[in-house]
Every structure is written in C-alpha cells, then in structure tokens.
A and B are shown apart, each in its own frame.
Chain A
C-alpha cells in the first residue's frame, strides 16, 4: 500500500483532530487491555479485537447525529466505545460481570445499548445486515429523519442475505448506510480468495445503490465519506454503500495463529498506515499540539482504561437467578 497520504484538510479544526486522536487511542488502549485480560483468563470464549480499524468507527461516528443507529458484528468493541458507551460497562461485559451492558449474559460478541442506539453485537456473519435495514425501515416508517449505520465485513459481504437486503433497501429507499469494513481477511481467507469481484461496493450498482471506496486508515477521509453518505440518506435518496479499506493488526480472534499472512505485511501496515499515528503527525507537524499535550491525553486514556479494567474485575458475577430472567418479556 502507498505511503501515508493523510494531509490535514483546511476545514478541520484542532479540536476535531484532538477528538479523533483521543477516540481512536481510547479504542486501541481498550483493546490492548482486553487482549491482556483474555490472556489472564478473565475474558473467555471468542474475543475479536478492533486494533487497526479504529478510524472507521471514529470517522463515521463523527458524521452521525444524536439518535442515529448502528449495528455490527461480533467485532464490536470499537463501535460501542465510539458511540459513547461506557468503557466500564463494555469491559465488565467482556469479563462476564453484573456491571456489563448485558449483565454478563452476552459477552464480547453480544452487547446492546438502547440508550446509545447500539443494536448489537451479532455473532452470525451478516445477520446484522437485514437487521440494520429493518432499523432503517422503522425510522422511515416513523418518519423521524434518523440514519442507520450497518457495519459488516468483507467476508460477510458474500452472504446471500446481504443482496436480498440491498434489493429491499433500494426498493423502499431506506435510510441506511451499508459500511463494509474491508480489513482484507475473513478469518484466514483473503478477499481475493473469496471473490472475483474487483470491488465490493460496486455490487450495489446491480440494485441501484450508489457507493464508493474509502481509505479506512485515514480518519478524515472516512469522516468526509460518512458526511456524504449520511446526507444522501437524509435527503430521502435511499441507501448508500461505503467500502472502507482497513486492516486488522491482530488475529481474527484471540485463538487465531494467523499463518495466512506474513508478519512483514502486518508490520508494514502498522508502520506506514497506522490511523492513530497519522492524526498524531498532523497534530504535531501542524503545530496543533505539543508532544506533552498528547502525552497528557495518552495518560488520561490509560487511566480510563485501567479504571474500566478494575471495574470489570471488581464487578461481581451475575446473581445465579439471572440464568432464568430475560427469556420472555412480560406482557404489558
């Protein structure tokens, strides 16, 4: 991939840049901590880290309005932090404790927050795609001007239900942004081995849905594309597809030996295209912030993440009778 091409756009303020820096760093540090807690046996099962992909959710959240919705796969920690969910509640869900967003019953892959309009956290590849269109269907039905961000992976993009959904979303011009997080691998299968389509976003054309490819290692580029997609949806023109080219630094989940790619490939991406380092450079070279200021932010975030980790260890396991709750809603 080409060397860094991020440049500060003239209309981006220092505050905005610092916001991106802070938000992305928060996800990175949170995920590193989650990886550590997994290694210690405090987190179990599947745990899919978002490290490397931070610019995607941070850029798109900056394009969202309050009340807009989002839904994603099992690789969901970054999405939850970016939409304003409490790191303590997320981490405590990872450790399976009462203080977690799902009271410890959902785990890493299944978290939800009605407050923050976060609709999961789905473990079945691509299942969230029609669900996202359904959220948008409800918004259009209720005529409330909301937009839904429906995130899915490059692997998920080959599931049939994605195309059934595209078709319906366009027939009914639903206000949904389909965000393909193309991190180049679905578990051990590279995009090239899974499809002969040269690009994933272009598949929307068959259904009359416009879209574009976006550099997902550049948060400013993501934000700009997000603005455009959201404007399209809010104008009543129906769905829009963003294929965001990104990269996951870690294995697919904690138990992936990742033999399908070279260490050099990962290292090169980290060194040349890291989204956090990109914003950091803009901040420093544009004299928007000093090393010390950024160190201050680093420290602040470390404290928030440490506090979340502490909370996730101290929060008790759920009460045993929680086994039997939430299976059915009470009839009103």
Chain B
C-alpha cells in the first residue's frame, strides 16, 4: 500500500518551507525514525524523520524547491516488493496544498513576497535618494546590535540560547562568531538572576542587552526591571542609573496558549523610569534598537515573533537611528485617524486599504515608541480627521488605547465628532484552540467596523 509523505509543519508559525535536501533516493529502504530530508522552515533547517517504514517509491518534490506548502505530498512510500513505478504522479504540490493550511496558522504569519512600504514616504530621518534594501525584521535587529557592538566595546548581549544556539528565534545569529563569548553570553534559565545581574553590570559601567527568550519569561524578572532598573536613577538623586536594553519577542505567536501569548505594551508603559519601544517595520526595528542601546536609561524593547520574518525596506546608511517619541505617519487621510504600533499596524494598514476602496480615507499612525509617546502627532491628526480608532493586541482594560483616548479627551475634546474606539485583544487569557484563538485576537474586520462606527458610514 502506498503512503503519501506530506510536507510537515515544523514550527508554530510555519506555513510553507523549502525542501532543502533529500537524504534518500527512490528505491531506498526507509525505517521509521530515519532522516529522509532536510527542510528549511521560517526559523531553521530541520531534519525530517520518516514515520512509516517502506521503500521510497517516488519523490514528488525535487530538492531545492521553495515555497512548498505544509501538507503538500512530497513523496510516496510503498511497501516492500510493491512496484514504485505504478505509483501515479501526484498533482503539483502547490495545488494539492491549497486548502491544507495547518489549523493553527494565523492569517498574518506568512511573510509577504514584497517588502511592505508605506504610502507616505515621509521619513525625515532618511535623506532623499538613500538606497533602500529589503530586510527582514530579524536581520534588522541583528544588524542594529552588531553595529552598536562594533562601535561601543561596553555593549554586550546576554540571555538564554543567544550564543551557541544562535538565538531561540535566530535574532542573535552570527553575533557569537563576530564578537566572541565574552560579549555574547549564554545564561542558565534564571531570568530573575540574569536580569538583576544585567542591572548590576549597567551600574558598573557596561551597556547590557538582556534578551528574554520571550517577554512572557520576563515576568520572572519583573522585580529587577521595575524596582532595580527603572527606579535607581531617581532613588540615587541622579547619581547612577541602568543604561540597558531588555529585548525579546512580545505578544501572541501562533497557538502557544495563555502562558506564552501576552502583550506587555501597556504593562511596561505605565512605569516611570522605563522607556518602551515597539517597532513594526524593519527600518524602525533597526533604528529604534540602536537608539535604545545608546540611551542612558533602561529600555523595554518589544519585538514580535510573527513580524520577525517580514521584509521591509531598510535604508542603507552608516548610522541610521530613529528617535524615541516620534510617531510615523504611514498613510495620510482626512476621514479618520487609526493609531497603532507593533503588529497592530498589520491590522491598521489592512483596514485602511480596505476602507480606501469604499472611499474612506484613513490616516494611519505608527507610534513606534510608547514611552515617550508622540501624542502630539495623534492630536494633530485628530484635529484634522475628528475621529480616532486605536488598534493593539493587548487587553482592553488599562490599555494603550485607553491612554490615547484620555489624552484626546483632554487635548482635542472639541475636535472629536465621535467617541474614540479602542480595538484590542479580548479580555480573556489566550486560548489554545484555533477557532478561539482567532476570536481572541484583534482583527482587521474589527478595525474596519470601528472606523465605520466613528465615521457613521
């Protein structure tokens, strides 16, 4: 009996991959557990083991094929003695897989083929005519760290799996090779300990970059982030502080459930003494991280696993930085202001595209840093549009959206033609089930609905 071997899902966010190499040929005997192929996922090259035993009847997808969808048949295994030639050619992999996306895939996980570019290229930090290079957020973050480490020998990176493993999400890829184990340091699983140690190292004259494998685990270290890092400058009457960066992926990934899916944007933004940045694009990831490393204060730098693989244009410049407290207008419009940051921008921009087709012109603002926050740009925009919708992945109570609403009420009350609507994640822990997870997250449809509500259209 012939058994189809299907392209496996090998990571929570994988939807397609490259069949890098076949390690067996047609006619080879295969036992369960044998490595039959190497597959490149969004994160790594993985060995793919056979589950069933038999003889490799036919290889349907040749090695080197990119973009093979999860669950597409890639080979056919036959029983011993069975005629491999009798196995019919399968339909081309791409078609066969069309409806077979994994249950857990979030619609937003697939990296778009083209870099995402703003409609309004109003970046004042980039001189006109600068060459742009498509770069993933992951690469941009790595480049930022590498550049700052080259420039300042007191900058070092510390965290779980950052060195030899090249980063759990491959953000620190190559740093160990370039900077050695004095400056790229694997820690034991001791978040409270190494966060505190990082604070001490900062007091002692170094500039630590502390990576949390994800920000969910920074909760173990919360005391040092808040009580030690954020407050010491004040408590010492300005004598000493903690110039350092706490960084890592934040927010929901895909199907990793309640303890691993939480957006800490509002959490950290409420703490005086901390600065908080949360980039969306690769250029901002790079420019803001460089600013964060140079900043003389503790900076919480919130990244996103789903954004890591997305590609954006990044300016090719010797020293490109993005200042804190300066929002970026991605799209101009006169009917409504949509304010977002981080992965929320995905929904904001998708909604703006869809609304434009119905003649509603949305102005989309990416806050980029949350503390300090560029509320001035938001207020200016709302004075023009008279309506505002905020978008974030975090919970609704005491959210960033709540804060913006309060600012608008105080500073632009007379300009508002409708109450501000906050689009947020639902007020529940993140469920695992695919259908519930989808409901728990904020969606583009919800943003569109909110815009229609505030514009009465």
Which residues of A does B touch, CB under 8 Å?
32, 35-36, 38-46, 93, 95-97, 102-110, 122-126, 155-156, 158-160, 186-189, 193-195, 251, 254-255, 257-260, 263, 317-318, 320, 322-324, 327
A9 → B minimal CB distance (Å) = 30
Residues in B whose Cβ lies below 8 Å from that of A260: 164-165
B399 → A minimal CB distance (Å) = 17
Query: Assuming A39-B6, A159-B189, A188-B165, is B11 touching A255 (CB within 8 A)?
Result: yes
Residues in B whose Cβ lies below 8 Å from that of A160: 190, 192-193
B326 → A minimal CB distance (Å) = 35
Residues in B whose Cβ lies below 8 Å from that of A38: 8-9
- Is B434 in contact with A317, judged by CB distance below 8 angstroms? yes
A51 → B minimal CB distance (Å) = 10
Tier of interface size on chain B: 35 or more
- Is B432 in contact with A39, judged by CB distance below 8 angstroms? no
Residues in B whose Cβ lies below 8 Å from that of A158: 188-190
Residues in A whose Cβ lies below 8 Å from that of B36: none
Residues in A whose Cβ lies below 8 Å from that of B164: 188-189, 193, 260
From B8, B41, B105, residue with most partner A Cβ within 10 Å: B8
The DSSP consensus for interface residues of chain B is: loop
- Is A41 in contact with B101, judged by CB distance below 8 angstroms? yes
> Which of A42, A104, A126 is B436 in contact with, Cβ under 8 Å?
A104
Tell me, in angstroms, the Cα distance from A107 to B103 when the chains sit together.
Answer: 13
8 A–B contacts from the bound complex (CB under 8 Å): A40-B8, A43-B104, A44-B255, A156-B189, A158-B188, A160-B192, A318-B433, A327-B427
Question: Does B46 count as interface, using CB distance less than 8 angstroms?
Answer: yes
> Which of A107, A187, A194, A258 is B257 in contact with, Cβ under 8 Å?
A107
Query: Assuming A187-B165, A189-B161, A195-B188, is B102 touching A41 (CB within 8 A)?
Result: yes
Query: Assuming A46-B256, A320-B435, is B51 touching A255 (CB within 8 A)?
Result: no
- Is B51 in contact with A35, judged by CB distance below 8 angstroms? yes
- Is B6 in contact with A40, judged by CB distance below 8 angstroms? yes
Residues in A whose Cβ lies below 8 Å from that of B168: 187
Residues in B whose Cβ lies below 8 Å from that of A195: 188
Closest to A317 in B: B435
B103 → A minimal CB distance (Å) = 6
Query: Assuming A39-B6, A323-B436, is B46 touching A255 (CB within 8 A)?
Result: yes
- Is A320 in contact with B439, judged by CB distance below 8 angstroms? yes
Question: Does B204 count as interface, using CB distance less than 8 angstroms?
Answer: no
- Is A193 in contact with B70, judged by CB distance below 8 angstroms? no
Question: Does B10 count as interface, using CB distance less than 8 angstroms?
Answer: yes
Query: Assuming A45-B432, A187-B165, is B257 touching A123 (CB within 8 A)?
Result: yes
> Which of B9, B47, B428 is A41 in contact with, Cβ under 8 Å?
B9
Tell me, in angstroms, the Cα distance from A45 to B214 when the chains sit together.
Answer: 14
B216 → A minimal CB distance (Å) = 7
- Is A39 in contact with B192, judged by CB distance below 8 angstroms? no
- Is B46 in contact with A320, judged by CB distance below 8 angstroms? no
Query: Assuming A109-B259, A187-B160, A257-B46, is B12 touching A45 (CB within 8 A)?
Result: yes
Q: Which of B313-343 contact A (CB under 8 A)?
A: none
> Which of B35, B46, B71, B192 is A40 in contact with, Cβ under 8 Å?
B71
Question: Does B235 count as interface, using CB distance less than 8 angstroms?
Answer: no
Residues in B whose Cβ lies below 8 Å from that of A36: 51
Question: Does B220 count as interface, using CB distance less than 8 angstroms?
Answer: yes
B157 → A minimal CB distance (Å) = 16
3 closest A-B pairs (Cβ-Cβ)? A44-B104, A41-B102, A107-B432
Tell me, in angstroms, the Cα distance from A96 to B439 when the chains sit together.
Answer: 14
Question: Does B260 count as interface, using CB distance less than 8 angstroms?
Answer: yes
Residues in A whose Cβ lies below 8 Å from that of B165: 187-189, 259-260
Query: Assuming A45-B432, A187-B165, A327-B429, is B257 touching A109 (CB within 8 A)?
Result: yes
Question: Does B186 count as interface, using CB distance less than 8 angstroms?
Answer: yes
